[in-house]
A and B are shown apart, each in its own frame.
Chain A
Amino acid sequence: DAKTTQPPSMDCAEGRAANLPCNHSTISGNEYVYWYRQIHSQGPQYIIHGLKNNETNEMASLIITEDRKSSTLILPHATLRDTAVYYCIVRSGTASKLTFGTGTRLQVTL
């Protein structure tokens, strides 16, 4: 699975959009981009995933560049409850494991 690079931390004001970047320059054609988050010491929570098209669900939007070498997770209206560590993971459909890196620690403030 391709390696990902994320900033270690970011801050966002409550009510504003949080844009979390991820670089995955070695991604292969059959690999998907997944986003998870982990709030405090809870289990990782699935947010969204995509292959090459932009995706949106009730939690977030995923924007993948045309060359697929990077992506951005967008939380449109961040709240204090969105404070968490966000993980960008690249994985092929045949892979068994998810490889969690160190992620981005998002702090949402008043």
Chain B
Amino acid sequence: NAGVTQTPKFQVLKTGQSMTLQCAQDMNHNSMYWYRQDPGMGLRLIYYSASEGTTDKGEVPNGYNVSRLNKREFSLRLESAAPSQTSVYFCASSGVRGSNQPQHFGDGTRLSIL
């Protein structure tokens, strides 16, 4: 059981380039999330999707877009990458929103923008 799978694991971009981070879960979860973690800091929520077909902004959505492609997949897109977006990006999923079910995380995508 793979859980939450993120691709790629590492990526280097130049300022202004675009990129899509992929996330897929095989736990039949309804909700999915994108977080970023900067050095020495906690995770901050970028966007989330409570169910297939819905997306909502989190704490730090500027510069990002998301797509809930289907129940399994939730992608994060950087349209014009900036050095401030250098970070580790984590995708997570959980069961029905409004329940106490925990979020489960992928291993992250380490993104550097030069």
Residues on A facing B (Cβ under 8 Å): 32, 34, 41-46, 49, 51, 87, 93-94, 96-103
Contacts and interface: CB of A to CB of B under 8 A. Distances in A.
B102 A96 contact: no
B33 A97 contact: yes
A41 B108 contact: yes
A107 to B, nearest CB: 17
Contacts of A97: 33, 45, 48, 58-59
Interface in B15-60: 31, 33, 42-43, 45, 48, 50, 56, 58-59
The 3 closest A-B pairs by CB, nearest first: A100-B42, A43-B105, A97-B45
22 contacts: A41-B88, A41-B108, A42-B107, A42-B108, A43-B105, A43-B106, A43-B107, A44-B92, A46-B102, A46-B103, A46-B104, A46-B105, A49-B100, A51-B100, A93-B98, A96-B31, A96-B45, A96-B48, A96-B58, A97-B45, A97-B58, A99-B42
Interface of B: 4, 31, 33, 42-43, 45, 48, 50, 56, 58-59, 88, 90, 92, 97-100, 102-108, 110
A42 B58 CA distance: 22
A48 B64 CA distance: 31
B107 A34 contact: no
B33 A49 contact: no
